[in-house]
A and B are shown apart, each in its own frame.
Chain A
């Protein structure tokens, strides 16, 4: 114990403590009788180190390396050239050769990817919607590529299977289509996006009239309601003061051009009426929407984020792949 304390204490130790062990000088560090010696590094290790130094010279020939003032060495032309195809702003394709760098390598990778998918995307772009659905082989591509695109871009709102979230985003798997169920209509929604809007009615009609209109709306889809009040509500609905009919239609079945809801079916988006058990609560939920209106249901426009052929493919995927398109 006393010896260990001695060997580890400060620099005022006598020189004699650096003993030679087996011909190799000791560093003087000793713990529990284990001593640290000053052996040379193994020969193979030293040579491996020299080799890495030599390798750096090879590296300079192949890759961007040394800064020189306002520029840098780009390797030896011919040794590290990369040739890729670039698409210019005007749509023309140009072949270019440059030195190796991450971004030119990336161009080559994207070229390869596009080459592999080109025949399929070209076919999607060239084939009319109806015929894509008939082509089993092409539909295989649409289904697998569509699933990837949908998962990344659409699923955050419409969920992985397209089932939507009540109170947030519409279900894409059922037969009800707010903005229309044709290929062209679905494509238009994806390209331009949508903004849902219903004005608040609390300033326009009285609370009593809102109650009546709510009872009428509940009666349309067979929910529990006050029949007498609903009868008066029908008049409110068709009146020019409230003019509910202007958006929802005189038959209350909604209008595809406006995206107004069909009130006669059992599909609810903004209030989960079928799940509410208490009739008073159902009435309250519908009244809330009539009184406060809706300024929600924003779908972003995808024309700047996705390419036209990707949007067309997604249209077919939503129409056919998820089911429900007509």
Chain B
């Protein structure tokens, strides 16, 4: 077909452009669904608990991903600064994943446990009070805004549709107990979501204010678990090489 013809027929141009672009995407993506080693076999990865899930939604709402990636690449300098490189398995329950590529701030893939709750809260309210050279905006409203968790069940159900194993029935709960253990499985049970969310916030006291269940509680709970699920001490330091 002459390009003269293609350029003069908007319909054909549109279809052929879409075909050309799709081929590129498909040959890169589709094989990954069939290759066994794409997602590493590793213990400990679990879906988010309800409070962490709300924190993740706030992370996305506030646009944290516009400056922070969550993907430690297998480079020497990143390993020295952030820790073990990120695994595909670690974001298998992420919809959407937060890998990102805009690295204005530090990578957050393993920020969990690196700082205290107190630090995270103070730093989110006023970053420059702790890191004078920071260019991060202030997020003071997180500490003063009550967390809206009225729709937590719906949020979990939506993720369930994408394949995240939140349980709805007793049978599904039992299956989760088998896969994740009872301690984790109870947090993945949708009917108990609200109770679990409040319980985790009270126990963790993430925003350092026991009297309030704020958006800060949820966001800090999320940040404090990032990258902590896999215990790399249980694996040879080259265990993950064979998956690539």
Measuring CB to CB, which residues of chain A are less than 8 angstroms from any residue of chain B?
Answer: 11, 27, 64, 67, 69-72, 84, 86-89, 96, 98, 101-107, 109-110, 113, 152-153, 155-157, 159, 165, 168, 295-300, 304-305
> Which B residue's beta carbon lies closest to that of A112?
B76
Binds A, one of B57-65, B158-166, B191-199, B235-243: B235-243
Contact assessment for A70 and B35 in the assembled complex, using a CB-CB cutoff below 8 Å: yes
The CA-CA distance from A159 to B123 in the complex, in Å, is 13
* Residues in chain B near residue A71, CB distance under 8 A: 35-37
27 contacts between A and B (CB under 8 A): A64-B244, A67-B35, A70-B34, A71-B35, A71-B36, A84-B238, A86-B236, A86-B241, A89-B234, A98-B242, A102-B74, A103-B238, A103-B244, A104-B241, A106-B74, A106-B75, A106-B79, A113-B80, A153-B114, A156-B123, A157-B115, A157-B119, A165-B130, A168-B118, A304-B233, A305-B83, A305-B114
Q: Answer whether A107 and B241 are a contact pair too, CB < 8 Å, given A71-B35, A72-B35.
A: yes
Contact assessment for B131 and A156 in the assembled complex, using a CB-CB cutoff below 8 Å: yes
B9 to chain A, nearest CB (A): 8
* Residues in chain A near residue B243, CB distance under 8 A: 103
Contact assessment for A67 and B131 in the assembled complex, using a CB-CB cutoff below 8 Å: no
Q: Does B167 contact A (CB under 8 A)?
A: no
Which residues from 31 to 54 on chain B have a C-beta closer than 8 Å to any C-beta of chain A? 31-32, 34-37
Contact assessment for B35 and A109 in the assembled complex, using a CB-CB cutoff below 8 Å: no
Contact assessment for B118 and A296 in the assembled complex, using a CB-CB cutoff below 8 Å: yes
The CA-CA distance from A11 to B115 in the complex, in Å, is 67
* Residues in chain B near residue A157, CB distance under 8 A: 115-116, 119, 130
The CA-CA distance from A67 to B244 in the complex, in Å, is 12
Contact assessment for B236 and A103 in the assembled complex, using a CB-CB cutoff below 8 Å: no
* Residues in chain A near residue B244, CB distance under 8 A: 64, 101-104
Partner of B76 from A109, A153, A159 at Cβ < 8 Å = A109
Interface centre among B75, B122, B208, B241 (most CB of A within 10 A): B241
Contact assessment for B79 and A299 in the assembled complex, using a CB-CB cutoff below 8 Å: no
Contact assessment for A300 and B233 in the assembled complex, using a CB-CB cutoff below 8 Å: no
Q: Answer whether A168 and B130 are a contact pair too, CB < 8 Å, given A64-B244, A103-B74, A300-B113.
A: yes
Q: Answer whether A113 and B76 are a contact pair too, CB < 8 Å, given A27-B4, A106-B85.
A: yes
Chain B interface bracket (under 10, 10 to 19, 20 to 34, 35 or more): 35 or more
Partner of A156 from B36, B80, B119 at Cβ < 8 Å = B119
Contact assessment for B116 and A298 in the assembled complex, using a CB-CB cutoff below 8 Å: yes
Contact assessment for A72 and B31 in the assembled complex, using a CB-CB cutoff below 8 Å: yes
Q: Type the 1/0 row for B62-75, where 1 means its CB is closer than 8 Å to any CB of A.
A: 00000000000111
A71 to chain B, nearest CB (A): 6
Partner of A86 from B83, B123, B237 at Cβ < 8 Å = B237
The CA-CA distance from A313 to B113 in the complex, in Å, is 21
Partner of B34 from A69, A84, A107, A298 at Cβ < 8 Å = A69
The CA-CA distance from A118 to B74 in the complex, in Å, is 21
Contact assessment for A89 and B236 in the assembled complex, using a CB-CB cutoff below 8 Å: yes
Contact assessment for A89 and B233 in the assembled complex, using a CB-CB cutoff below 8 Å: yes
Contact assessment for B8 and A87 in the assembled complex, using a CB-CB cutoff below 8 Å: no
Contact assessment for A101 and B241 in the assembled complex, using a CB-CB cutoff below 8 Å: yes
The CA-CA distance from A89 to B18 in the complex, in Å, is 49
> Which A residue's beta carbon lies closest to that of B28?
A67
B107 to chain A, nearest CB (A): 12
* Residues in chain B near residue A299, CB distance under 8 A: 116
Q: Answer whether A87 and B237 are a contact pair too, CB < 8 Å, given A109-B76, A157-B119, A168-B122.
A: yes
Q: Type the 1/0 row for B2-34, where 1 means its CB is closer than 8 Å to any CB of A.
A: 001000100000000000000000000001101
Contact assessment for A103 and B234 in the assembled complex, using a CB-CB cutoff below 8 Å: no
The CA-CA distance from A105 to B236 in the complex, in Å, is 16
A178 to chain B, nearest CB (A): 16
* Residues in chain B near residue A300, CB distance under 8 A: 113-116
* Residues in chain B near residue A88, CB distance under 8 A: 236-237
Q: Type the 1/0 row for B164-186, where 1 means its CB is closer than 8 Å to any CB of A.
A: 00000000000000000000000
> Which A residue's beta carbon lies closest to that of B242?
A98
The CA-CA distance from A123 to B69 in the complex, in Å, is 37
Contact assessment for B122 and A98 in the assembled complex, using a CB-CB cutoff below 8 Å: no
> Which A residue's beta carbon lies closest to that of B116?
A298
The CA-CA distance from A189 to B58 in the complex, in Å, is 34
* Residues in chain B near residue A165, CB distance under 8 A: 129-130
The CA-CA distance from A198 to B135 in the complex, in Å, is 34
For the A-B complex with A103-B238, A304-B233 known, give 10 more contacts whose Cβ atoms are closer than 8 Å.
A71-B36, A84-B238, A86-B241, A101-B241, A103-B241, A104-B238, A105-B74, A106-B79, A107-B238, A165-B130
